[in-house]
Amino acid sequence: MNRRRLVLCLGAGQMISWGITYYLVGALGLAMAAGLGWSSTRIQGGFALALLAMGLCSPRLGEISDRHGGRAVMCAGSLFNAAGCAMLAMAHGSLAYYAGWLLLGLGMRCTLYDAAFAALARIGGGDVAGTGRAMAQITLPGGLSATLFWPLGQALCEAAGWRAALWVYALLALCTLPLHCSLPSGRNSKGALASSPPPQDTPPLAREPRQILLSGILFAALTTLANFLNAGMSAHMISILGGMGVAGALAVWIAALRGVGQSAARLMDILFARGINPLSLNLLACLLLPLAFAIGLAAAGSAVATIAFALLYGAGNGLLSITRGTLPLSLFDHRSYGGFVGRLVAPGFVLSAAAPVLYAWLMQALGARAGMWLSGVCALAILAAAAALRMMFPRRSPGAHVAGISAK
């Protein structure tokens, strides 16, 4: 399988998988609450359960990816996503509803970025440059998921109801099955990600036990906080904007601009970020987040300021999605990428399980602005972890920026 086809298949799979799972509750949550007669907190509890399931199964699925490759894991994820959406479409009570979200939790861990990155790391072997570049490229269409699926979900819901929308989501999940089946199963399969000149193994930055431990802790802290923030904002961004004075339909479209910011930042990274190593790119991404929330808090209902907030937040979050894959590729041994990173990101899924419910409770008690303040505090903590990680390795690593060494 050639590299271009591999990137196209995985990228398309990411765009669909994120849209029908992670962004599901943001698009359909209010309609589901009204249809089932449940509170927003109870609806968000399903998404929280899915994130918890992701954390619990993360280490084991990472090890399976290392041992057997990503194809089997990602194909299973397509089936889990389809079954989860179908279960939600048929749900009338708590048992079926939460069972559907458990299936989606397994499906998300098997199909979203962490699974795709582990598959690419195994295929690429020691070719850090080629693997990192492919990681950056598959996030480009993935970043448009919110932009596409929030309006699409709302349109389907208005046209045919939320249950019909979920059946469409289930069919879309099945459409990702042939995309994931096209993945090669071997390690460094036919040089699928090979750079030019031929790839050479790049030694990891963290080589001493103390370096591995400290950098692992900082990476885990960074991803845990970023997952918490992303989960809260994915579930409530539209509600936060609406509660801060942006009209309902406009809030949906402005929130969807987050995806434009994500993909624009990723495109700039692929095309122009030569010579920037992943640690510096990560720090830049984390600098954008507090700036975005400062603008959001000062927006006071202004459409222009709110658009700037959505684009900046999307840009920071989009770059973080890239460095989430390329940082461990540079810091740690690529041969154990799936299992090691699976353990490091597991706490992030577990903590982020509380985010949708915590945001819902906080906003109900103190208003939408409290959700924005909580996000701003998380963004500052993420920046602190990124700065500490950058200071651990002050010198530029050989090979520099693995995601942007050359354009596609």
Q: What is the pLDDT of residue 395?
A: 62
Q: What is the pLDDT of residue 348?
A: 77
CA distances from 308 to 259, 279, 341 (A): 13, 25, 33
Q: Exposure of 44 by Cβ count < 10 A (0-12 exposed, 13-18 middle, 19+ buried)? A: buried
Write down the residue that tokens 């992670």 correspond to: 22
**Is residue 14 classed as helix, strand or coil in its secondary structure?**
helix
Q: What is the pLDDT of residue 206?
A: 64
Low-confidence residues of the chain, pLDDT below 70?
A: 1, 125-129, 186-204, 206-207, 273-275, 333-338, 395-408
Residue pLDDT, tens place only, 193-245: 554 444 555 666 766 778 778 888 888 899 889 989 988 888 788 888 888 87
- Rounded Cα distance between 346 and 358, Å, is 19
Contacts of 311 (CB under 8 A, 6+ apart): 257, 258, 260, 261, 264
State the DSSP string of 183-216: S--STTGGGTT--SS---PPPPS--SHHHHHHHH
Q: Rg of the chain's alpha carbons, rounded to an integer?
A: 20
Residue pLDDT, tens place only, 26-70: 889 989 999 999 988 889 889 889 988 988 888 888 888 878 778
**Single-letter amino acid, residue 330:** S
What are φ and ψ of residue 124, in 5° steps? -75, -20
- Rounded Cα distance between 98 and 46, Å, is 5
- Rounded Cα distance between 360 and 354, Å, is 10
CA distances from 339 to 63, 68, 127, 183, 342 (A): 4, 12, 19, 19, 5
Contacts of 402 (CB under 8 A, 6+ apart): 128, 129, 131, 132, 133, 277, 278, 326, 329, 330
Dig out the tokens for 11 from the structure. 């990228």
Cis peptide preceding 356, ω within 30 of 0? no
Q: Are 250 and 378 in contact (CB under 8 A)?
A: no
- Rounded Cα distance between 350 and 342, Å, is 12
**Single-letter amino acid, residue 38:** W
